[in-house]
Structure 1
């Protein structure tokens, strides 16, 4: 049994297939396993909570895990040790979520592209057809992650409390969410995964794109992301496409294309959920 895993900070999808790519179990979903944010104890608790994973742990021969927070060595190694302990008979690969986005969006295995993730968090890398290159080291969601779900959630909350929202949007936002200050601060400072909490506000933004305020909010975030991340590859984007993965990117395709035209880069493919492309890629590479 081969497990192909795509994990964000919010949720984690597991697909079990055989070596021919035939799905063996219903898709498994757990909470996100971001080792840069969660403790070892918390990750183990999430794994043990899944009855399906526990019941099949000894049948697993390979785990291909791609996730948020796996781009630096220490968190990646911590998660690999935990997965090896949980799946004792399996070969374990743990890699950053950007590589999942690469394999899911490129049109051919050796295609060069700039690949962006806009989901709960955000990231951008250049794939030369063989290797991944990053020129900006992420400092996490509190400082970076422009145009991500948690970025937009933070902007919505700030605009609500600073009275920068149009009144109709302000009323609708308050109707949709509990915006009491104590409740917000409790979730931000006393609960795990504050980035995922912030990101859940982004759904409101996607559902209200007919508002001029919302459209400019979306484009402003994408411009920031493009200037800080995509344009660092100013030479590469002259000749290669810029692909996007993640739910924010998928639902904001028109806005991304508009900003791309403004700033002069070519938009390529969009993939909401990279995991299907990962299954195909890995079942072809296992001997």
Structure 2
């Protein structure tokens, strides 16, 4: 049995495939397992706590884990060790989430493309058909992650406190979220996953897209992301498509198409949940 995992900062989706290429159990979901921001003991606790994973632990022979925070060696090896302990019979491969975006969005295994992630966090890479290329190391939600869920959550909260929201949007935002200053600061500075906390506020945008204010926020974030990330690959985007993976991208397709025209790149595929494309990829490579 193989386990394929799409791991974000907010949540992880796990799919178990048997030797016949069939899904062995129902899709399993756990909390996020970002090893760059979650300490080892908490990572272990999240995995061990899930009964559905414990049930199949000894049957798993291979794990293909694609995750946020797995782009550098130290956190990648940390998570690999946690998985090896919990799945003692499995060969474990941990890759950064960008590979999940590539493998789930490209049309053929050797298609060249610029591939973007807009989910809880954000990233952008060039896949030349064989290798992945990144020209800027991600520094996470505090300094980067433009146009991500946590970016938009931060923008909404800032606009609320700086009184930049239209009154109708302000009232709706108050109804949707606890916006007391102490509550916000507690979640940002005393809880373990502030990126996911901020990203939780981004859903509000897509429930209120009839507002010009909301549409402008979405488009401005995509402009910043385009300038800082996509335009790293100025020459490549002249000849290859730009694919997008992640829930923010999926729900902002109209705005992405509009901004793409401004910046001169061609939008390719949108994948809301990379896990589905990863299953197809690994079934063809069993």
Per the normalisation by structure 1, the TM-score is: 0.99
Mapped partners of 1:252, 1:20: distance in 2: 37
Mapped partners of 1:276, 1:17: distance in 2: 12
Q: 1:57-136 residue pairs with structure 2 within 5 A?
A: 57-136=57-136
Mapped partners of 2:115, 2:125: distance in 1: 5
Q: 1:127-276 residue pairs with structure 2 within 5 A?
A: 127-276=127-276
Mapped partners of 2:100, 2:115: distance in 1: 10
Deviations 1:217-272 (A, max 9, x none): 00000000000000000000000000000000000000000000011000000000
Q: Shift of the alpha carbon at 1:56?
A: 1.2
Q: Shift of the alpha carbon at 1:19?
A: 3.2
Moved over 4 A (4+): none
Mapped partners of 1:181, 1:272: distance in 2: 32
The 3 A distance-change label for structure 1 pair 20 and 241 is farther
Deviations 1:107-165 (A, max 9, x none): 00000000000000000000000000000011110010000000000000000000011
Q: Secondary structure at the match of 2:284?
A: helix
Q: Shift of the alpha carbon at 1:20?
A: 3.5
Structure 1 residue aligned with 2:277 = 277
Structure 2 stretches lacking a partner, 5+ long = none
Q: Shift of the alpha carbon at 1:180?
A: 0.4
Deviations 1:17-62 (A, max 9, x none): 1133200001100001000000000000000110111121100000
Mapped partners of 1:19, 1:244: distance in 2: 31
Q: Secondary structure at the match of 2:64?
A: strand
Structure 1 residue aligned with 2:26 = 26
Instruction: Assess if the C-alpha contact under 8 Å between 1:118 and 1:149 holds in 2.
Output: yes
Mapped partners of 2:95, 2:273: distance in 1: 16
Mapped partners of 1:266, 1:234: distance in 2: 12
Q: How many residues align?
A: 286
Structure 1 residue aligned with 2:41 = 41
Q: Secondary structure at the match of 2:69?
A: coil
Mapped partners of 1:260, 1:82: distance in 2: 40
Q: Secondary structure at the match of 1:164?
A: coil
Mapped partners of 2:29, 2:281: distance in 1: 21
